[in-house]
Structure 1
Amino acid sequence: MTFNLSDFHFLRPTWLLLALIGLLLPLLWRRSQDLQRRLRSNIAPHLLPHLLLTPADPHYLRPVHLVSALLVLGALAAAGPTWEQDRPDFLENRAPLIIALDLSPSMDTADVPPTRLSAAKHMLQDLVQRRKGARTALIVYAGSAHLVLPPTDDPALLDSFIQALATDLISKPGKDVAAVIDQARRLLDAEHTPGTLLLISDGADVTQLPSLKKHLADSPLQVLVLAVGSQFDSVALKQLAAATDAPLGSLTLNDDDLDWIELHAQQHFQNADEQQRQLQWKDVGYWLCWPLLLLALFSVRRGWSLNWTAVLMLGFFLQPAPAQANALADAFLTPDQQGRWAFEHHHYPAAAALFSDPYWKGIAAYNAADYDLALTSFTQVNTAQAAFYRGNIHVRRFKFDDAIAAYQQALQQQPQFPEASANLALALALKKDTESASDNAPEVKPDEVKFDKAAGKGQSKAIQTEQASSDALWLQNLTTSPANFLRRKFSLQDQQP
Structure 2
Amino acid sequence: MIADFHFLRPLWLLALVAVPLLVVVIGRRTDVRAQWQGMIAPHLLDHLLIEKGGKRRFHPVHLTAALIAIAAIATAGPTWQREKPPFVEDTAPLAIAIDLTATMNATDLSPTRLERTKLKVQDILALRKGARTALFAYAGTAHMVLPLTDDANLIRTYVAALSPGIMPVAGKNTGKALQVVEDALSGEAVPGTILFMTDGVERTAFDAFAHYKGRNDLMVLGIGTADGGPVKTADGQFLTDATGARVRAKLDVDALKALQAASATQVATVTPDDADVRWIVRRIQTSFAQKTAEGLTRWYDAGWWLTIPIAILAALWFRRGWSVRWAVFVIAIGTALPGTRVEAAERSFADLWFTPDQKGQRAVDRGDFQGAAGDFTDPAWQGVALYRIGRYQDAINAFAQGDTAESYYNQGNALMHLDKVEEAVAAYQQALKQRPDWPEAKQNLAVAEKRKADKDKQDQDAEQEAAGLDPDQVQFDDKGTKGKEGTVPGAPQTAEMWMRNIQVSPADLLARKFAIEAKDAQP
- CA change 1:48–1:132 in 2 (3 A) is same
Q: Which residue of 1 aligns with 2:162?
A: 165
CA distance in 2 between partners of 1:375 and 1:297 (Å): 42
Structure 2 gap ranges (5+): 229-249, 323-347, 469-500
- CA change 1:432–1:271 in 2 (3 A) is closer
Letter in 2 for 1:162: V
Q: Is 1:45 aligned with 2:63? A: no
Q: Which residue of 1 aligns with 2:219?
A: 224
Q: After superposition, give the CA deviation of every residue in 1:94-151 in whole Å (9 maximum; x if it has no partner).
A: 3333322112222223332222111101111111110124343333222222233444
CA distance in 1 between partners of 2:8 and 2:221 (Å): 45
- Asked whether the equivalents of residues 365 and 371 of structure 1 are also in contact (C-alpha less than 8 Å), the reply is no
Q: Is 1:121 aligned with 2:118? A: yes
Q: Which residue of 1 aligns with 2:313?
A: 295
CA distance in 2 between partners of 1:105 and 1:47 (Å): 111
The alignment's C-alpha RMSD in Å is: 5.0
SS at match of 1:233: coil
Q: Which residue of 2 aligns with 1:457?
A: none
SS at match of 2:144: strand
Q: 345, 350, 354: which is aligned to 2:369?
A: 345
- Asked whether the equivalents of residues 141 and 173 of structure 2 are also in contact (C-alpha less than 8 Å), the reply is yes
CA distance in 2 between partners of 1:33 and 1:198 (Å): 75
Q: 264, 267, 280: which is aligned to 1:261?
A: 280
- Asked whether the equivalents of residues 428 and 444 of structure 2 are also in contact (C-alpha less than 8 Å), the reply is no
- Asked whether the equivalents of residues 404 and 431 of structure 2 are also in contact (C-alpha less than 8 Å), the reply is no
Q: After superposition, give the CA deviation of every residue in 1:8-42 in whole Å (9 maximum; x if it has no partner).
A: 543322222333334433334334434577789xx
Aligned residues: 426
- Asked whether the equivalents of residues 348 and 364 of structure 1 are also in contact (C-alpha less than 8 Å), the reply is no
Shift of 1:79: 2.4
Equivalence map 1:87-98=2 (5 Å): 94-98=91-95
CA distance in 1 between partners of 2:502 and 2:405 (Å): 28
Equivalence map 1:9-408=2 (5 Å): 9-34=6-31, 45-46=39-40, 53-58=48-53, 59-81=56-78, 94-186=91-183, 189-214=186-211, 216-217=212-213, 219-230=214-225, 231=228, 232-234=250-252, 235-272=254-291, 275-276=294-295, 285=303, 288=306, 291-300=309-318, 302=320, 333=355, 345-346=369-370, 355=379, 367=391, 369=393, 373=397, 381=405, 385=409, 388-389=412-413, 392=416, 395-396=419-420
Percent identity, aligned pairs only? Answer: 32
- Asked whether the equivalents of residues 388 and 407 of structure 1 are also in contact (C-alpha less than 8 Å), the reply is yes
- Asked whether the equivalents of residues 394 and 403 of structure 1 are also in contact (C-alpha less than 8 Å), the reply is no
SS at match of 2:187: helix
- CA change 1:284–1:227 in 2 (3 A) is same
CA distance in 1 between partners of 2:224 and 2:385 (Å): 52
Q: TM-score, normalised by structure 1?
A: 0.66
Letter in 2 for 1:233: L
Shift of 1:177: 1.9
Shift of 1:237: 3.5
CA distance in 2 between partners of 1:478 and 1:410 (Å): 34
Letter in 2 for 1:492: I
- CA change 1:245–1:369 in 2 (3 A) is closer
Instruction: Compare 62-71 and 150-159 and name the one that shifted more.
Output: 150-159
SS at match of 1:302: coil
- CA change 1:210–1:14 in 2 (3 A) is closer
- Asked whether the equivalents of residues 387 and 414 of structure 2 are also in contact (C-alpha less than 8 Å), the reply is no
Q: Which residue of 1 aligns with 2:326?
A: none
Q: Which residue of 1 aligns with 2:483?
A: none
- CA change 1:280–1:375 in 2 (3 A) is closer
SS at match of 2:168: coil
- CA change 1:193–1:286 in 2 (3 A) is same
- Asked whether the equivalents of residues 73 and 288 of structure 1 are also in contact (C-alpha less than 8 Å), the reply is yes
Q: After superposition, give the CA deviation of every residue in 1:324-371 in whole Å (9 maximum; x if it has no partner).
A: xx9x989975x9778878997336986897527998799699936359
Q: Which residue of 1 aligns with 2:511?
A: 487
CA distance in 2 between partners of 1:85 and 1:356 (Å): 29
CA distance in 2 between partners of 1:292 and 1:382 (Å): 38
SS at match of 1:226: strand
Q: Which residue of 2 aligns with 1:464?
A: none
Structure 1 gap ranges (5+): 305-325, 444-476
CA distance in 1 between partners of 2:295 and 2:389 (Å): 37
- CA change 1:141–1:49 in 2 (3 A) is farther
Q: After superposition, give the CA deviation of every residue in 1:148-178 in whole Å (9 maximum; x if it has no partner).
A: 3444444334333323333233312232222
- CA change 1:337–1:441 in 2 (3 A) is farther
SS at match of 2:58: coil
- Asked whether the equivalents of residues 358 and 378 of structure 1 are also in contact (C-alpha less than 8 Å), the reply is no
SS at match of 1:123: helix
Q: After superposition, give the CA deviation of every residue in 1:396-445 in whole Å (9 maximum; x if it has no partner).
A: 5xxx76667777888996677666555544444444444554565599xx
